[in-house]
Structures are given as structure tokens and as C-alpha cells.
């Protein structure tokens, strides 16, 4: 994975289930991700499989926004235990400024805190 930050491990859920006598792992996890498009813009999304989703984006099969800005590059991935958690994080990040997204991508927590302060 080309992400600069590793997925958050603490939110992973998996459960064992039995199906036709075989045991398999069900993993309802979701990944929020940030892509850089060829024009330098950022795209934020969530998926169950970041590598496959980037492949789909780069094949032109994703949303029109990325299809018209190919190729895209995966910059950041964050893992969550459920799709609901991942989607909430996606919506949160989408509302952020470019500077705040860049602080998250680079892992600059001090800058992220500073950019998160309310302006009065």
C-alpha cells in the first residue's frame, strides 16, 4: 500500500461464523482513504478494499470526479470496524480544508490541532 500512514488497527472487528460446516472470518471493516488526482486535487472516499478501489479509480470505473483526473495515487488510509464508522470519517474529512487534509496525510498532528482550532 502506498499510504503514508498505516491503517488504524484498534478499530478492527472480526467475528467467526459457521457456514456449511466450514469456519471463516467475516470482517466488516471499512477504510477511509484520500487520493491525489493528476490535477493535484484530493478525493476522499471509503471502501472495504483500498487496493481494489484504487484499481477501479485508475481504470476509469470510479466516480466522474476521479475518472476525469487520472491517474490517482493513494496517500492515506485509515481502518474502521464498521462501514458506518468509515463513512462518518469520510464525511468529516471531506469538510476539511486542503491544509487540514495535508496535515492528516503527512501525520503532522500539531498542525492538525492548530488547523482544528475555532477562529473567532
Summarize pLDDT for 42-81 with one digit per residue, the tens: 999 999 999 999 999 999 999 999 999 999 999 999 999 9
Task: Scan for cell 488526482, then name that residue.
Answer: 37
Least Cα distance to 100 among 109, 88, 87, 91 occurs for 109
What tens digit of pLDDT does each residue of 1-43 get? 444 444 333 333 333 333 344 444 445 799 999 999 999 999 9
pLDDT at 60: 94
C-alpha cell at 5: 500512514
DSSP 52: H
In words, the CATH class of domain 15-116 is alpha beta
pLDDT at 71: 97
Residues 90-100: what's their mean pLDDT?
Answer: 97
Helix (H, G, I), strand (E, B) or coil at 27: coil
Question: Has residue 84 got a pLDDT over 70?
Answer: yes
Cα–Cα dist 5/101, whole Å? 13
Cα–Cα dist 67/112, whole Å? 29
pLDDT at 28: 77
pTM for the whole thing? 0.76
Cα–Cα dist 16/24, whole Å? 6
pLDDT at 44: 98
Task: Scan for cell 462518518, then name that residue.
Answer: 88
Least Cα distance to 88 among 11, 18, 15, 19 occurs for 11
Amino acid at each position: 500500500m502506498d499510504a503514508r500512514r498505516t491503517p488504524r488497527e484498534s478499530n478492527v472487528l472480526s467475528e467467526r461464523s459457521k457456514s456449511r460446516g466450514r469456519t471463516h472470518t467475516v470482517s466488516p471493516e471499512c477504510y477511509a482513504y484520500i487520493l491525489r488526482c493528476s490535477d493535484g486535487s484530493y478525493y476522499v472516499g471509503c471502501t472495504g478494499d483500498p487496493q481494489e478501489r484504487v484499481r477501479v479509480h485508475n481504470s476509469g470505473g470510479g466516480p466522474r470526479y476521479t475518472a476525469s483526473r487520472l491517474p490517482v495515487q493513494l496517500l492515506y488510509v485509515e481502518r474502521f470496524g464498521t462501514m458506518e464508522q468509515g463513512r462518518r470519517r469520510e464525511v468529516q474529512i471531506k469538510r476539511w480544508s486542503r491544509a487540514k487534509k495535508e496535515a492528516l496525510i503527512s501525520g503532522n498532528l500539531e498542525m492538525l490541532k492548530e488547523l482544528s482550532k475555532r477562529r473567532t
